[in-house]
Amino acid sequence: MQQQICQPNGLDIAYFDTAPDNLNRPVALLLHGFPDDAAMWRPQLEALHQAGYRGIAPDLRGFGASSITHRVADSRLDAVLADLLGLMDHIGAATAQVAGHDWGAIFAWALAAHHPQRVSRLAVLSVGHPNAYADAGLEQALRAWYAMLFQVPGLAERLLPAANWYLLRSGLTAHPAADAVRKQMGRPGRLRAALNVYRANGLKLLRERLPPVQADTLGIYSRADAFLTRRQMHDSHHHVLGQWRYVELPGGHWMPIDQPDAIAELLIQHFDDGLAAH
């Protein structure tokens, strides 16, 4: 499975495609979050391919092998959504089954909310509907301390690499693929580009209300998530017009990496149910 490149909006967007020569398979579009890239989805892409899907996983703009971004405005929600729509057009997908984790979940929610005709089914991991997140109360606000820190230009760029990326490698916030992330984020300009996702969208999403989604939606929450409360995912059903299913798993934030088989099984079941219904 090799990465390919398209240029939907003047930037290189790298993406994995498990069946580039098969336009008849239903498309499963998987979106990563911070500080990851599309490689996190490799086990799920392989499982989805074996289940008959065309698995697509892009490196979002500024991440991985996609073009680096320099301005905060380059990472705005509308620009990311334009990339995703352009990628879907590039591969010939009128619709897709969409899954996202972390910031990828936020972009998946927004894609389904603003472009319902392009999202046949939705699966969101860790992060609930942005409106539910905004309404989740004090505990969620306290768990999001790092997001406020990330808003300060230059501060997180100094703090995160400190002491051999201590925050990435230790305690409740430890990333299961810390060495790979450290290597990726150590490339010139990459850490700032990734942080600009927070700076371009974090406060804006708290102030503005995202429309509800029409697609049948699966919400997956992990009970030991250090960054997110159960409430912000559980209460997302208030913002879903389609059928809603909520699943809790053990473990921490990075479910696709820590529990690849369980996540693959849940995605395939959810997506298969959607195909059977049609």
The pLDDT assigned to 265 comes to 98
Mean pLDDT computed over every residue of the chain: 94
> The tokens of 275 are what?
């195909």
Contact 30, 100 (CB under 8 A): yes
pLDDT computed for residue 274 by the predictor: 66
Provide the sign of the torsion angle of the four alpha carbons 42, 228, 206, 35, taken in this order.
negative
Could you tell me whether strands 119-125 and 96-101 are parallel, antiparallel, or unpaired per DSSP bridges?
A: parallel
Q: Are 195 and 189 in contact (CB under 8 A)?
A: no
pLDDT of 129 over the 90 cut = yes
Question: Is the pLDDT assigned to residue 1 strictly greater than 90?
Answer: no
CA–chain centroid gap for 176, Å, is 17
Tell me: pLDDT of 20 over 90: yes
pLDDT reading at 151 higher than 80: yes
Residue 203 has pLDDT above 90, yes or no: no
pLDDT > 70? residue 186:
yes
pLDDT of 276 higher than 80: no
Using one digit for the tens of pLDDT, what is the confidence trace for 79-95?
Answer: 999 999 999 999 999 99
Whether the pLDDT of residue 171 is over 80: the answer is no
Q: Whose CA is closest to 55, among 276, 278, 264, 273?
A: 264
Q: Which residues pair with 219 in a beta bridge?
A: 124, 246
Average pLDDT over every residue of 136-153: 92
Q: Where are the domains of the chain?
A: 3-277
Q: What is the pLDDT of residues 241-250, one digit of tens each?
A: 999 999 999 9
Fold of 3-277: Rossmann fold (3.40.50)
Q: What per-residue string of b and e applies to 26-59 under the rule 16 or more CB within 10 Å gives b?
A: bbbbbbbbbbbbbbbbbebbebbbebbbbbbbbb
Q: How far apart are CA 182 and CA 175, in angstroms?
A: 10
* The pLDDT of residue 23: 84
106 neighbors 80 (Cβ within 8 angstroms): no
153 pLDDT band (50/70/90 cuts)? confident
With bands split at pLDDT 50, 70 and 90, how would you rate the model's confidence at 105?
A: very high
Percent of the chain surpassing pLDDT 90: 84
Alpha helices in 57-102 (DSSP H): 77-91
What is the average pLDDT across 60-74? Answer: 95
List the beta bridge partners of residue 141.
none
What is the per-residue pLDDT for 277?
67
